[in-house]
Amino acid sequence: MFAIPESVIHEEMDGETMLVRLDSGNYYTMNMSGGQIWALIERGASKNQIVSSLSELYGIEKNQIEEPVDTFLKYLIVEELVVVQPSSGVDAPDLPTEVRKAAASFEPPQLHKYSDMQELLILDPIHEVSDAGWPHSKPQNDSNE
């Protein structure tokens, strides 16, 4: 089972999933199968549940999907986009309807990393907000106390 750290935000736009690591300023894009895996991760799926869901969705044997999924998940872990957690033992989550409709033929999941906007993303004032969100600034610590 995987969890998404608080430092990672994501958005799906026009069939492409985009991730941003707020603490590093790196951002990432995924192809369709990567986005499908991400949708399952969001729902608390384990690696085996991901492989089973994609195998069913694309109508191909699990052994054709296991290696590319494993490689993709390892990359997500190395890039600190997900963390491994103990399995909860829950049933495999279903892929959202919009993800199921988009499926054609299986292509190995890909993650593309970009670091060209690191400085802008790290300097963005959204990092300095309170729990109430933008535009509420974090309270300043008074060093005279």
15: pLDDT strictly greater than 70: yes
DSSP E strands in 4-145: the ranges are 8-13, 16-21, 27-30, 83-84, 111-114
53 or 96, higher pLDDT? 53
pTM here is 0.75
What H or E segment, with its residue span, contains residue 121? helix 118-123
Mean pLDDT along residues 37-52: 91
pLDDT at residue 14, rounded to an integer: 78
pLDDT at 23: 86
Answer yes or no: is pLDDT of 21 > 70: yes
**CA torsion, points 2, 72, 116, 17, in degrees to nearest 10?**
-70
Of 6-15, 74-83, 113-122, highest mean pLDDT: 74-83
Residue 80, pLDDT > 80, answer yes
The better pLDDT of the pair 128, 113 is held by 113
